[in-house]
Amino acid sequence: MEIIRSNFKSNLHKVYQAIEEADFFAIDGEFSGISDGPSVSALTNGFDTPEERYQKLKKASGCVRKSFFLC
């Protein structure tokens, strides 16, 4: 299901219901500006701790969220 600005309010109950019924869920986001500078793979590696990865990618938090995905 695609929920966009124009149908958000009328479908919000479906989102709540899906979350309540789910065994687990995943959240993903798309941000403007996240590709500015080095790529994520150049900044991070499999040896980073979660804190190191967070600090390296923190600058994206100032970017505008373009999309939000709930799986």
> For residue 71, what are the domain limits?
25-71
Q: Nearest Cα to 38, choosing from 23, 59, 16, 17? A: 59
Mean pLDDT calculated for residue range 7-28: 90
Confidence of residue 10 (pLDDT cuts 50, 70, 90): very high
Alpha-carbon distance values, 26 to 15, 38, 51, 53 (Å): 13, 26, 20, 19
Whether residue 54 is contained in a domain is answered as: yes
Total structural domains within the chain: 1
Q: What is the pLDDT of residue 58?
A: 76
Whether residue 69 is contained in a domain is answered as: yes
Q: What is the pLDDT of residues 25-68, one digit of tens each?
A: 887 777 666 555 666 666 667 788 889 888 877 765 666 666 76
Whether residue 6 is contained in a domain is answered as: no
Whether residue 8 is contained in a domain is answered as: no
pTM as predicted: 0.47
Q: What is the pLDDT of residue 5?
A: 85
Q: Give φ, ψ of 50 to 5 degrees.
A: -55, -40
